[in-house]
Amino acid sequence: MQKLLLLGDEAIAQGALDGGMSGIYAYPGTPSTEITEYVQKNKYAKENNIHSDWSANEKTAMESALGMSYAGKRAMVCMKHVGLNVAADAFMNSAITGVNGGLVITVADDPSMHSSQNEQDSRFYAKFAMIPVLEPSNQQEAYEMAYTAFELSEKFNVPVMIRITTRLAHSRSGVTVNSQKAENKMVLPEDRQQFVLLPSIAKVQYRKLINVQPKLEEASEKSKYNKYIDSENKKLGVIACGLGYNYLLENFEESEIPFPVVKVSQYPIPRKFVEKIITECDEILVLEDGYPVVEDDLRGFMHNKKIKGRLSGAIPRDGELNPNIVAKAVGLADTYGTDSPNSLKGRPPQMCKGCGHIDVYEALNEVVAEIGEGRVFSDIGCYTLGALAPFKAINTCVDMGASITMAKGAADAGLIPAIAMIGDSTFTHSGMTGLLDAVMENTPITVIISDNSTTGMTGGQKSHAENRIFDICKGLGVHPDHLRTVVPLKKNHEEMVAIMKEEFAYNGLSVIVPVRECVQTASQKARAKVATKKL
């Protein structure tokens, strides 16, 4: 049994591979991207044809994983927390269909929004879908959970969620691995109607889901991931979920923890443990890395006063947990170095030197200055950084694909022209359907698809849009006279300005596609070429 130095993400990938997974489906999203990348680079996965190509978006990924489960094999789908919003339709209904081969949904949440629009907590979704959650407190646990999650899924015929947060996803530690399990053989569902959600069948399936809940609770109570650690002092009891338990251990290092603790790493919440600690202790502190999901449950509508946490002010309402927050909350002395001096300035992220998006923004700003600001609807990608100085070029960024559809809605309201700025990978993720809406009504918007032929912000993964943007736009019905292209370079600035002026003035739908490879992926390819030449 050898130890590997793995990120939390990688531990999950390795656990899933060792646990007999036949396919992983995902769209890049920080902090989940590295799970799928690990499988893509893994020797065993390559030799055994484990599926690991990127999907167009989290919905198609979720559905494909469900399809693999239908065929009897073990599948995992990975995403960041907001990706679950995109996958939600398939996700919710996969709990109603149940599974055939084990199905695991790994969601990486981002408390403190290090790289996201919000810090939504995926445990809510699992509760909503009525499925179990495994929430590791360290990298070894993450490995073990991924290793055994498929079996848990098959045992109770429900999909299982693994929920992690940024600090575990992107931190490395030594992990001991287990022996390789075989993949399942392909076998169709015994009940051929299981996956047909006509109301008459869905009602039966839903009752099965309701009836399995007590068994899921029992599994939580017996789970090796949940613990009751007793103590004589009953003034305070702590319920520590996921990383919360990790930070609690940080503060009590070698000495024993001087109050009872319930470690929660498998949901539904282990009922008997929680009943015991609430009954026996004067005050309860709930530590969770995300929304106050458990705290809210326990506090209830009648505001049980002895339950403390984010809602009571015992710990900050928003943002991630950390060891200092936990120390203060349990009455230990806080530790702090010194304040940074005034010479320290913020250093926000920027678009790279030579990035094509910069050339697009320089032309766009020039034209928008003439026709009036406030009309640029943008999207999620490196180009979102155009919101910051010195460009300040965009006015919205809400969710994947919203640039086109929000521009359409604003134009419908009378804001004409409205301009959408979207990247190529975001376009194939969820921009195409919005563009179709605009085609159907010939809405007077201009959609700029800034094509750097990659999924850039997440590290340069392959984009579905490569060499396809024009054909897709033509296929959707964009008029060829108003489907323009240009290479975004300084020397083409006047040309870009002219094209934008023309198409903004046109009283119908137009699409402009600036095309230039991302400077990062271009230089990575060049370096790889040099390296292979040397061999």
Which residues make up the interface to another protein (CB under 8 A)?
Answer: 3, 5, 30-31, 33-34, 114-115, 138, 167-168, 170-174, 246-247, 249-250, 253-254, 322-324, 327, 334-341, 343-352, 382, 385, 389-390, 457-459
3-class state of residue 342 by DSSP: coil
Q: How far is the CB of 17 from another protein (least distance, A)?
A: 21
Q: How far is the CB of 83 from another protein (least distance, A)?
A: 14
What's the rounded Cα separation, in Å, for the pair 142 and 124?
Answer: 20
Toward another protein, which CB reaches closer, 40 or 205? 40
Q: How far is the CB of 209 from another protein (least distance, A)?
A: 35
First CA to last CA distance, the chain = 33
Toward another protein, which CB reaches closer, 265 or 405? 265
CA distances from 353 to 77, 182, 448, 500, 518 (A): 35, 48, 21, 23, 11
What's the rounded Cα separation, in Å, for the pair 64 and 90?
Answer: 10
CA distances from 455 to 38, 54, 72, 522 (A): 17, 11, 32, 13
Q: How far is the CB of 172 from another protein (least distance, A)?
A: 4
Toward another protein, which CB reaches closer, 253 or 471? 253
CA 157 to chain centre: 24
Toward another protein, which CB reaches closer, 154 or 320? 320
Contact 378, 422 (CB under 8 A): yes
Toward another protein, which CB reaches closer, 31 or 417? 31
Toward another protein, which CB reaches closer, 150 or 259? 259
Q: How far is the CB of 449 from another protein (least distance, A)?
A: 21
Phi, psi (rounded to 5 degrees) for 243? -65, -20
Q: How far is the CB of 52 from another protein (least distance, A)?
A: 19
Contact 84, 159 (CB under 8 A): no
Q: How far is the CB of 119 from another protein (least distance, A)?
A: 14
3-class state of residue 512 by DSSP: strand
Toward another protein, which CB reaches closer, 100 or 166? 166
Contact 361, 386 (CB under 8 A): yes
